[in-house]
């Protein structure tokens, strides 16, 4: 075979990342250097087992398919592109892990210094590895995410030299809203229900913004009900007050004072949806179910959306999308804790066949 025939088909569209693909909806100009890792276009996977359990059409938006393994890449491409346009050399964020991994990757791509503040002892191993290997300056603070975010807010106020890339930076939200565009573009319709985990509440805010922008542009003619789920031990929006010591096995959403609180309640109320909570055991049950029954391995926080679906009453025949925000390999410790790791067996056919009972 000649080399030429091995080349990719040039007529096949190359995905250019969410800023270019949805440029009409982005606050960018020809002067914006687009920093991208090809994020977005993540799988929308039909879930037959969940569909049959709920008598609905259930799809999983698998955000673990992004370049750093979480939905954060959608917002980080835009936040870092805008920081580059403004001439910023240093970015800073507080994080429960995924934001730090994503910020570290995109900052490295842009040649910027990245500083991340993470809660010591409460960040999944894969995320810590990512932030470090991408070359971020990692500060493990003796405190939780909410305290880290407070410090980062002070950086934003006191220093014009650093750009804050938490979701209080509106460019993060504008990048993340592309998830809603992709769902509509892929399904061809607007789902009836949108299930999503809620931590700092930036993502539910972003999806609601995305659905509304397509609606206002006349691309769609309906809006989904926004169904947000917090972990029971970290459920300030559900309780109606700040939680000083949030606690959950889903460390990604171990947040007691969400930055986008008001936007999240607005999304809930305007859409006729709910923000409710799921216990750690409900989260873990959904987490194991997704891997074993739907072959989709997500991280614990992501499974909060499906845990929420499992206990919600929805209209039969509805079209449902659950956002699975991050990859299962982010948190190998929780995965291993949920299964029993088999003991070693002698390296012989006899030993293996005896063990298998064949």
Which residue in the set 68, 70, 178, 248 belongs to the binding site for ligand AN7 (CB under 6 A)?
Answer: 70
Q: Which stretch binds ligand AN7 (CB under 6 A): 21-29, 90-98, 107-115, 285-293?
A: 90-98
Q: Which one of 15-23, 54-62, 179-187, 194-202 is the stretch in contact with ligand AN7 (CB under 6 A)?
A: 194-202
Stretch that binds ligand AN7, among 22-30, 40-48, 268-276, 297-305 (CB under 6 A): 297-305
Check residue 42 for interaction with ligand AN7 (CB under 6 A): no
- Please count the CA atoms within 13 angstroms of the CA of 2 that sit on its side-chain side: 2
Alpha-carbon distances, residue 64 vs 15, 45, 293, 307 (angstroms): 17, 12, 18, 18
Asked if 201 touches ligand AN7 (CB under 6 A), the answer is yes
CA distance 326 to 66: 9
Q: Does 168 bind ligand AN7 (CB under 6 A)?
A: no
**Residues constituting the chain:** 358
Give the x-and-dash track for 96-115 against ligand AN7 (CB under 6 A). xxxx----------------
Contact criterion met (CB below 8 Å) for 82 and 50: no
**Per rule CB under 6 A, is residue 95 in the interface with ligand AN7?**
yes
Identify the helix (H) or strand (E) that includes residue 207.
helix 202-216
Query: Segment near ligand AN7 (CB under 6 A), from 29-37, 201-209, 231-239, 278-286?
Result: 201-209
Containing H/E element for 113?
Answer: strand 113-119
195 has which bridge partners? 227, 322
Contacts of 221 (CB under 8 A, 6+ apart): 190, 215
Residue among 42, 130, 200, 257 that touches ligand AN7 (CB under 6 A): 200
Site for ligand AN7 (CB under 6 A): which residue of 301, 309, 314, 321? 301
Among 253, 283, 286, 314, binds ligand AN7 (CB under 6 A): 253
Give the CA count within 13 Å in the CB-facing half-sphere of 97: 29
- Among 197, 236, 256, 328, contact with ligand AN7 (rule: CB under 6 A): 197
Q: How far apart are CA 345 and CA 141, in angstroms?
A: 43
Instruction: Please report, as ranges, the residues that interact with ligand AN7 according to CB under 6 A.
Output: 70, 95-99, 197-203, 252-253, 299, 301-302, 325-326
């Amino acid at each position: 075979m000649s080399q030429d025939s091995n080349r990719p088909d040039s007529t096949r569209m190359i995905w250019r990342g969410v800023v270019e693909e949805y440029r009409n909806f982005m606050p960018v100009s020809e002067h914006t250097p687009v920093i991208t890792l090809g994020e977005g276009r993540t799988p929308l996977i039909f879930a037959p087992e969940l569909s049959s359990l709920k008598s609905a059409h259930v799809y999983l938006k698998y955000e673990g398919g992004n370049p750093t393994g979480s939905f954060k890449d959608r917002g980080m491409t835009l936040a870092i592109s805008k920081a580059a346009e403004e001439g910023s050399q240093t970015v800073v964020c507080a994080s429960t892990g995924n934001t730090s991994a994503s910020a570290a990757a995109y900052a490295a791509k842009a040649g910027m210094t990245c500083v991340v503040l993470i809660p010591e002892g409460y960040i999944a191993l894969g995320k810590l590895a990512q932030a470090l290997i991408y070359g971020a300056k990692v500060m493990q603070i003796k405190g939780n995410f909410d305290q880290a975010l407070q410090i980062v807010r002070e950086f934003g106020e006191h220093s014009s030299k650093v750009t804050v890339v938490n979701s209080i930076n509106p460019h993060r939200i504008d990048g993340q809203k592309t998830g809603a565009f992709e769902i509509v573009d892929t399904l061809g319709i607007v789902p009836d229900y949108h299930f999503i985990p809620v931590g700092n509440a930036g993502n539910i805010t972003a999806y609601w913004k995305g659905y509304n922008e397509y609606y206002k542009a006349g691309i769609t003619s309906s809006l989904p009900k926004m169904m947000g789920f917090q972990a029971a031990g970290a459920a300030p929006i559900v309780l109606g007050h700040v939680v000083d010591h949030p606690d959950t096995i889903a460390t990604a959403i171990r947040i007691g004072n969400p930055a986008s609180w008001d936007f999240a309640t607005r999304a809930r109320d305007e859409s006729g949806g709910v923000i409710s909570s799921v216990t750690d055991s409900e989260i873990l049950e959904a987490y194991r179910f997704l891997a074993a029954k739907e072959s989709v391995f997500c991280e614990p926080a992501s499974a909060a959306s499906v845990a929420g679906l499992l206990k919600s009453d929805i209209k039969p025949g509805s079209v449902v999308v659950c956002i699975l925000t991050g990859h299962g390999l982010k948190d190998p410790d929780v995965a291993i804790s949920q299964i029993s790791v088999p003991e070693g067996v002698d390296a012989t056919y006899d030993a293996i066949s005896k063990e298998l009972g064949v």
